[in-house]
Amino acid sequence: MHLIIYTSRYTGETSQIADDLRTITQTAKHNNPALNITGLLFYHNQQFLQIIEGEQPDLEGLMDVVTADPRHAEVIRIVDQEVPERGFNDWNMDSFNLSDQQQLSPDQLKAIKELYSQNFAMQSDTVVDFYKSMLGDDETD
């Protein structure tokens, strides 16, 4: 099982993000099950953060699609490694628009990378709880 966490800059108009997130999520929910890819997509202040997991060749194919997508620029992988097991069994893909919430800082993104670097096998509940606590939001259940 392989895990990729990446960030990218949203190139569209802020007024279009709700429609673009809906389109991205619908496409992912249609395509990802056949590829056995799971994960989450977060959006905040013109930035995407996506967590995806699956077999490495399938993830590389998805990353090729993301890199070619004109809605994404400056794609940066912050985690790209094998993991012992899938952490997002129940998330074939969903997206969260955090634009009206607390800002994601580079230090928070670095903390995620360090957790993985220390061989911490982050489970989906841990990631969701991390973001909920960071946002002070209990309504994302």
* pLDDT tier at 138, thresholds 50, 70, 90: very low
* Residue 84 to residues 50, 75, 94, 96, 138, Cα–Cα distance (Å): 19, 25, 23, 26, 29
Structural domains of the chain sorted by starting position, each given as residue range(s) with its CATH number in brackets: 2-134 (3.30.70.100)
* pLDDT tier at 106, thresholds 50, 70, 90: low
Which pLDDT score, from 0 to 100, does residue 141 have?
42
Which pLDDT score, from 0 to 100, does residue 97 have?
75
What is the residue whose two structure tokens read 């220390």?
Answer: 118
DSSP codes, 92-119: S-EEEE-TTSPPPPHHHHHHHHHHHHTT
* pLDDT tier at 109, thresholds 50, 70, 90: low
Which pLDDT score, from 0 to 100, does residue 137 have?
47
Model confidence over 16-56: pLDDT tens digits? 998 999 999 999 989 988 999 988 888 888 899 898 999 99
Whether residue 105 has pLDDT greater than 50: yes
Model confidence over 57-89: pLDDT tens digits? 999 999 999 999 999 999 999 888 888 888 777
Nearest-CA neighbor of 115 among 3, 17, 24, 27?
3
Whether residue 90 has pLDDT greater than 60: yes
Whether residue 136 has pLDDT greater than 80: no
